[in-house]
Amino acid sequence: KVLFSQNWKKQNRKIQKLHSHIANIRHDYLHKITTRISKSHAMIACEDLKVANMSKSASGTIENKGRQVKAKSGLNKSILDQGWGMMVNMLEYKQQWRGGLLIKVNPRYTSQTCFECKHIAKENRQTQSKFECVKCDHKANADINAAKNILSAGHAVLSAEGGCSKGRPLKQK
């Protein structure tokens, strides 16, 4: 299509309609899943991920070119398509509505720490899905091991605060 012609504008409207439809589907799914999670759990622990930092461009500067820009661009698109930040925000306000608690845990080393012996090493996480501790030979799925670490860190934060964090409803305090 010729740029800014009538046919181009018609096609652009069709594409915009498709994108808004996809966004509506994503919002609907996130609302449904966060409502289900919020109704069934009084305390939720999640990583305090900085989605904006994770999806920064890898382009670099004119003098210092970025590495693997195309791969990073694809990763950024998939991170933003998932709506992680939106899901955490929805969980946060829904937990407050229901009198629950959402604890955001520092994501540092959660996937490299052994849940059994608490040994931290980059070599523990061999692949995306395989976790094997180099110290105690504990083997597990990497995501399950990280989830256990996040939950235990959430319990530690909860016990350190005495069960009362800022912004909790008065009936919970």
Predicted pLDDT at 27: 94
Q: How far apart, in Å, do the first and last CA atoms of the chain sit?
A: 62
Give residue 111's pLDDT: 87
CA-nearest of 98, 81, 110, 83 to 40 is 98
If residue 105 lies in a helix (H) or strand (E), which one and from where to where? strand 101-105
* pLDDT for the residue 172: 44
Q: State the pLDDT at residue 166.
A: 53
Q: Which residues of the chain have pLDDT under 50?
A: 165, 169-173
Task: Work out the mean pLDDT of the chain and round it to a whole number.
Answer: 84
Q: What is the pLDDT of residue 77?
A: 77
pLDDT at residue 163, rounded to an integer:
53
C-alpha distances (whole Å) from 169 to each of 35, 95, 106, 128 are 18, 10, 23, 39
The CA distance from 109 to 53, in Å, is 17
